Structure 1
Amino acid sequence: MKTNLYDKDYCLWLEETIQVLREGRLTELDISNLIEEIEDMGISQKKAVKSNSRILLMHLLKWKYQPTKRSKSWKSSIIEHRKRIRDSFEDSPSLKVYFANNFDLCYQDARELAAAETGLSIDEFPIESPFFEQDTLKPDYFPE
């Protein structure tokens, strides 16, 4: 398989790589690009969990600290990002550990995002998360 196909036509490279794998012609594989793609897939999954966690936590902060401004849009975003995280966990259960290990970092990012979106000072939001990580993923959890 030609290595330069990866740079010229990514989709065709994928199709040909799949075909080569199915046929067991392993010596024809573009190993270096295949390894890179597999590594990128794991990184992408982790980035998605982190991004969805930040947005979920930001909306939970807004929900908790601006109760008079609660909207269907905020509620919808909370539900949507919970579902995305849970879907990631269904596909890759090991991401639960990644979620737990990065929860505090995502919360700190969410504080910044919530401050930017609400116009409130970042100091309005506690330094330590007011949410337990297991609660944030419960379908009926909306902090008061």
Structure 2
Amino acid sequence: MRNPSSDLYGRDYYAWLQDQVRALRERRVEDVDWENVAEEIESLGKSERRGIRSHVATVVEQLLKLQYARGIFREYSARGWRVSIRSARRQIQELLDESPSLRPQLAEMLVRAYGDGRIEALRERTLKENILPKTSPWTVEQVMDDAFLPDRAATTRD
């Protein structure tokens, strides 16, 4: 027999959520839309992971700009990039504090986030694709370290 809440799920998501919260709190297991509740819980976990990866991509993007951007554009923008790095690192740390089991997955997330951050960094007209590394030149520890900023001297060709 189909649970009536399953129909509500497709018609009014918020009302469905409230209905499911009540059913769970009141331990009315027969009224729980188990299939959709399971999907929603799984989706929450994926969302947490995507959030962390997105913030890692932001850190990567800004680190690439700091290390590889040149000229007056860099001089005027570097402070903002550093602020963005600090903010994204703080967001990552907050998410990891809430879900510490995601910490061991950071290295895997960095691989994908590096590609995303590299694409975003290339939107800056002063950066050329051939000068940016194809894979991350930084470790997870460096990406997460509040004190770490890339050594621009190693890449200076001005």
Q: TM-score if structure 2 supplies the norm length?
A: 0.82
Q: Tell me whether 1:114 sits opposite 2:121 in the alignment.
A: yes
CA contact (8 A) 2:68 2:127 kept: no
| 2:15 corresponds to | 12
Match of 2:81 among 55, 74, 77: 74
Distance change >3 Å, CA 99–CA 7, structure 1 → 2 = same
CA distance in 1, matches of 2:84, 2:28: 46
Q: Tell me whether 1:35 sits opposite 2:42 in the alignment.
A: no
CA contact (8 A) 2:96 2:102 kept: yes
1:58 Cα deviation from its structure 2 partner: 0.6
Q: Which consecutive unaligned segments of at least 5 residues does structure 1 have?
A: none
Structure 1 stretches of at least 4 aligned residues deviating more than 6 Å after TM superposition = none
1:130 Cα deviation from its structure 2 partner: 2.0
AA matched with 1:53: V
State which structure, 1 or 2, has the greater radius of gyration over its C-alpha atoms: 2
AA matched with 2:89: R
Q: TM-score if structure 1 supplies the norm length?
A: 0.89
| 1:58 corresponds to | 61
Q: Tell me whether 1:142 sits opposite 2:149 in the alignment.
A: yes
1:8 Cα deviation from its structure 2 partner: 2.1
CA distance in 1, matches of 2:91, 2:22: 31
SS in 1 for 2:65: helix
Aligned length: 144
AA matched with 1:12: A
CA distance in 1, matches of 2:89, 2:125: 21
1:78 Cα deviation from its structure 2 partner: 0.6
SS in 1 for 2:123: helix
SS in 2 for 1:117: coil
Q: Which consecutive unaligned segments of at least 5 residues does structure 2 have?
A: 152-158
Q: Tell me whether 1:103 sits opposite 2:103 in the alignment.
A: no
CA-atom RMSD in angstroms: 1.7
Query: What is the aligned-residue identity percentage?
Result: 30
